Amino acid sequence: MVRRRARRRSRRQHKDRRVWMWAGAAVLALAVILLIDLKPWRRVRETVSGQWPYHDMTKGSYTDDADGIDISRHQGKIHWDELVDENPQLRFVYIKATEGSSIVDPFYRHNLREAKERGLLVGSYHFLTRRTSMERQADNFLSTIDLSQQDLLLLVDVEDDGTRGWDRDIIQKNLAEFIRLVKERTGHSPMIYTNEAYYHLNLYPEFNHYHLFIANYNLPPELGEAKYDIWQSGKRGRVRGIWTYVDIDRLRDGVTVDDIRLPSE
């Protein structure tokens, strides 16, 4: 009897140990999954402040033939006086405002104010993502910007990084909905930014009638029957006053900044 009780107790203890081992393994696996998904080490590296970067991180010759640039938090602290004084060819700047339904670029309002104070023509853009509805994204964008401070057409950035997993029909449906919502609330359709390959694959020819801002880092874009207004000709431009590489933008021959101005009411 005593031996049977001891064996039963031993079996229960062995079973309890196995349960705790499996529970511990499950908790450990969950922790590893969360760690990989959250990538806290990457978040630290991506953090920027009003003092970053601390030295010029660029090399090579300066870009002296850009009509405009587009900027975001990734440019960090911009030396605005130097940027304007040393780059008299610059006529406009597009500034990232929002992404998805909740992200606001932490440098947006500062960059907008600094650019406006120095007489640059400014526009704001939204990065479209697949995670939330177009209504919530339009709300985020339009509640962040001040339409009265915009000189240029608003801009929606649609590209692989934001729409991966959507097919052509879904891309067109959602982009058209975002544009409709913006036009409904502002009176004007936003310009569309994307790269040439993405445009041909997903947007041509249905979106040919919109103002277009097209990236091609080798040659001027060829869009068939469509015409672009702005060509993003480089993503590693070097300009005085910015200590990281920056996107370089050029107006198409025959296009002036007046053609991309936000119409006054």
Looking up tokens 């029909």, which residue turns up? 169
Tell me whether residue 60 is exposed, middle or buried, using C-beta atoms within 10 angstroms of its C-beta: 0 to 12, 13 to 18, 19 or more: exposed
Measured between alpha carbons, how far is residue 183 from residues 23, 112, 142, 208 in Å? Answer: 54, 22, 11, 17
Alpha helices in the chain (DSSP H): 2-38, 40-46, 80-86, 108-117, 134-144, 160-163, 168-186, 196-198
Q: State yes or no: is 117 an active-site residue.
A: no
Q: Can you tell me whether residue 110 is helix, strand or coil?
A: helix
Secondary structure class of 105 (helix, strand, coil): coil
Q: What is the residue type of 150? A: Q
Cα radius of gyration rounded to whole Å, the chain: 25
Residue located via tokens 């660029």? 58
The β-bridge partners of 68 are 92, 249
Catalytic residue among 139, 151, 159, 177: 159
Question: What is the sign of the dihedral through the CA atoms of 98, 145, 232 and 51?
Answer: negative
Catalytic entry in 70, 105, 114, 247: 70
Residue 56, SS3 per DSSP: coil
Residue 70 known to be catalytic:
yes
Residue 134's contacts (CB-CB under 8 Å, 6 or more residues apart) are 174, 177, 178, 181
Q: Which helix (H) or strand (E) holds 215?
A: strand 212-215
Across-strand partners of 237?
Answer: 246
Which residues have a catalytic role annotated? 70, 159
